[in-house]
């Protein structure tokens, strides 16, 4: 049930916020403290600025989800805030919590799918739908349809949607000047973009996600750091073993900066959890470069995050 998932996500968030950053190892203590501050700001955006303006329980808000690491971090925080907002809504009731029904059975979610994605990523997306109880609208895979038109089609099916939560960060392309709440451009169908993750950096994403103990897309374990089309996405060359490609400077990858988070994860098993790599994907990846790569979370430099993305062919 979505109610149970939202409660679990709330507990993950609260557990991370309760970490004594000073007790963590030196390589991760500062990151944990900064991530805790980022979580609190994201929670403030959601609970004070967004949920008070659009009702998250009646379809006015949809969540944009593609299974990537940023979207997954935001989804966990968003679901945790849904639980918190639910508790706030029943304060003062004469009835105990057990007599109140959580208002949603599934989370309204949209995925604009215009690229040839890795089969492993598609599998992880479907696993996410089941795990997080998502009601997923997936656009037709039509490269001739641009993004605004795809969202227009979505809104024609779900006209109750007034705002869409998007897991973009300031370090993403065209993300520098974005605001947490802003209306779409005039050339787009009109809705509000809700972007409560803008202030996060890559280290914070890895720290929270790895601590959560949630299953993540297996491509990250193979050395991917940013996922796009199978035609233009490679493993991050800075993570190549034994040496990066060409004249690139080797990332500091003798160990993961987030081993503490993995060993002390919320699940309590000290393990990483990733979905299995599809065999066709594995063959495609190895054909391009048979080298070994460190996992994606060994990379913490934001400016190198998209180094595995190839320029699109015009």
- How far is Cα 80 from Cα 272, in angstroms, rounded to an integer? 22
Q: Which of 307, 295, 285 is nearest to 236 (CA)?
A: 307
Which tens digit of pLDDT belongs to each residue from 5-45?
999 999 999 999 999 988 776 567 799 999 999 999 999 99
Neighbours of 6 (CB within 10 A): 25
> Helix/strand/coil (H, E, C) string of 29-84?
HHHHHHHHHHHHHHHHHHHHHHCCCCCCCCCCEEEECCCCHHHHHHHHHHHHHHHH
Phi/psi region, residue 120 (left: phi>0; alpha: psi -120 to 50; beta: rest), is alpha
Q: Among 117, 111, 163, 161, which Cα is nearest to 137's?
A: 111
CB 34 within 8 A of CB 181: no
Answer yes or no: is pLDDT of 265 > 60.
Answer: yes
Condensed to tens digits (0 to 9), the pLDDT of residues 233-242 reads 999 999 999 7
| Residue among 65, 83, 87 at smallest CA distance from 74 | 65
> Residue 142 — pLDDT band, cuts 50, 70, 90?
confident
pTM across the whole model: 0.94
pLDDT classification of 246: cutoffs 50, 70, 90: low
- What is the greatest pairwise CA distance in the chain? 68
Residue ranges with strand state E in 81-216: 107-111, 134-138, 163-165, 181-183, 192-194
Q: In the chain, where are the structural domains located?
A: 215-304
- State the average pLDDT for the chain: 91
For residue 293, give the H/E element and its range: strand 292-293
Q: Reduce the DSSP state of residue 286 to 3 states and report it.
A: helix
> What whole-number distance in Å separates Cα of residue 82 and Cα of residue 47?
8
């Amino acid at each position: 049930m979505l109610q149970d998932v939202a409660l679990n996500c709330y507990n993950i968030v609260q557990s991370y916020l309760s970490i004594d950053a000073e007790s963590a190892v030196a390589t991760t203590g500062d990151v944990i403290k900064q991530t805790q501050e980022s979580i609190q700001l994201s929670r403030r955006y959601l609970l004070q600025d967004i949920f008070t303006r659009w009702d998250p329980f009646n379809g006015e808000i949809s969540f944009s989800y593609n299974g990537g690491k940023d979207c997954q971090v935001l989804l966990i925080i968003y679901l945790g805030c849904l639980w918190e907002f639910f508790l706030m809504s029943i304060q003062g009731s004469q009835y105990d919590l057990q007599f109140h029904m959580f208002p949603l059975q599934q989370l309204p979610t949209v995925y604009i799918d215009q690229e040839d994605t890795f089969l492993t990523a598609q599998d992880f997306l479907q696993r996410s739908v089941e795990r997080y109880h998502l009601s997923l609208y997936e656009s037709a895979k039509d490269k001739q349809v641009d993004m605004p038109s795809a969202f227009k089609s979505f809104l024609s099916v779900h006209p109750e949607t007034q705002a869409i939560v998007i897991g973009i960060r300031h370090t993403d392309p065209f993300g520098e000047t974005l605001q947490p709440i802003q209306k779409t451009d005039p050339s787009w169908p009109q809705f509000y973009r809700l972007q409560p993750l803008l202030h996060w950096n890559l280290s914070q994403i890895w720290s929270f996600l790895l601590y959560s103990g949630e299953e993540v897309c297996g491509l990250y374990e193979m050395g991917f750091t940013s996922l796009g089309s199978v035609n233009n996405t490679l493993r991050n060359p800075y993570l190549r073993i034994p040496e990066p490609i060409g004249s690139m400077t080797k990332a500091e990858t003798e160990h993961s900066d987030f081993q503490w988070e993995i060993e002390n994860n919320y699940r309590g098993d000290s393990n990483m959890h990733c979905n299995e790599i599809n065999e066709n994907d594995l063959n495609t990846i190895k054909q391009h470069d048979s080298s070994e790569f460190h996992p994606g979370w060994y990379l913490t430099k934001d400016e190198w995050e998209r180094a595995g993305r190839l320029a699109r062919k015009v």
